[in-house]
Structure 1
Amino acid sequence: MTSHLVLRKADFFASATQPVAVADRYPQNVFAEHTHDFCELVLVWRGNGLHVLNDRPYRITCGDLFYIRAEDRHSYTSVNDLVLQNVIYCPERLQLDLDWKALIPGLDKKPFQPYWRLGSTGMNPVRQIITQIEQESRKADDFSVAMMETLFAQLALTLNRHRYAVDSVPVTSSETLLDKLITALAGNLERTFALEQFCQQNQCNERTLRQQFRQQTGMTVNHYLRQLRICHAQYLLRHTDYLISEVATRCGFEDSNYFSVVFTREMGMTPSQCRQRNVAA
């Protein structure tokens, strides 16, 4: 059996007591599948890429948030100016008397949602907290470890306040049009999405929104939606027994032949080959 890459605490933490650290990825390049002996939060600030987590592909862009456990397998491919930060932490080193399992999804080993969106209103406070954690990690005084853990608790609480499910409308009205558009796209994988209608409902200029979307994500709206659908198709082909025609329908393709053409062009293999490869693995 081929051994996989394992990232070790000793290579990322300054001491055996440090509970939290920050690993910047400016940019995040292609990175092979790996696990860790620590946990991490992944926050995407710019660009786009393909994040494969436990064999499930996610097309990621600015505002995406992942909670990664030590045993989770993940990798990055097809990256395009992808900028992210990994806030890494060791649960066993956390000393504050807090309900960390309630604050951080996945710590209690129960089924959980690892993928979220971070609303635009939360990005600045989250960045500021991460910067403070980085600053404290460079210090060696008696208070630095306690300060890092305190800031990490603040970060966890701030993420809880501003995150929302990727396919659910943000609960606050202060989220930007970009947040609402990405949410709407994720919630329309099985249906036709009309950007013109979205703009009418939100009283915004379609051309301006298209430009803003491309500036932030590095993709057009149509390309992003197509990538979301292809990622969902990969998951269904690998984890369900749906007929390829049904997979096509569940991913917003009315014509299964057209679905096969698009899937093959994007993935370099047919839907049938994708399914067979998973069976062979």
Structure 2
Amino acid sequence: MTSRIDGSKIARRIRASVADRVAEAARSGRVPGLATVLVGDDPASAVYVAAKRRAVREAGMRDFHRQLPERATQLEVATVIDDLAHNPDVSGILLQLPLPAHLTAAALIDRIPVAKDVDGLTTASAGRLARGERGLRPCTPSGVIELLDAEGIELRGACVAMVGWGELVGRPLTQLLLRRGATVSVAHEFTADLAAVTRPADIVVVATGVRGLVGPEHVKPGATVIDAGIHRTSSGLTGDVRAAELDGIAGRITPVPGGVGPMTIAMLVVNTLRAAEWGAERQAVPA
């Protein structure tokens, strides 16, 4: 029988641990703060930002939010980011994506200092990941690693099929898995024979944005399946995996919702705390 990996439960445990550490830091007068920047009035983005802000407040952190109108210019958004970058009370900065079409996201993201890049998306953060240097890692890939660790799934020597090569999940997660000693094969929605890549794998991670791409023909019996996709349908949320068809085939699977999603927000509060702690370390080192 296929067991479901309860990402919500694991995320609650992580967030509770962060809250304890934040309370301890607060006794010394150091309270981490996250700044979220939302441009426009996209309903989905508003919901995501509200959830992130709520998680930050529940952890005892300070909530710095900046709302800009849909028509905000590149310079106006850049000015807000620069102000937050120079604010010592702001430990981390998150620019909610996607942005309105007239804005250049990459240039704005790269204005975020690497020490405050809690999404791990700047060029500098990507470089640190590639070189194995200490840095803030993208939240969803970090959440997947935490899920696998919480389930006691050994990564060293495991064969992993990473289905998806996006900059938010697939690319950074591939690097994190390789650094943990996994053997990783990378595929995507255009792979000619996807099953040939995924069927031998002990772990199949899917992050393509293609609803229902992976089914029983792609998964060997007993494999762990991590579904990082999310799609809104008339019958509710679903992922990149045809989960119902994998019941009794996969050994373990993450549900949608309640799998990877809660872990993404949990790792955001972890990254905000790390940014604050590492910033305090830098301040404590004599020049």
Q: Report the TM-score range of the alignment, normalised by the length of the smaller protein.
A: under 0.3
Task: Point out the structure with the larger strand share.
Answer: 1
* TM-score between both structures, scaled by the size of structure 1: 0.27
* TM-score between both structures, scaled by the size of structure 2: 0.27
- Relative contact order: is structure 1 or structure 2 higher (C-alpha 8 Å, sep ≥ 6)? 2
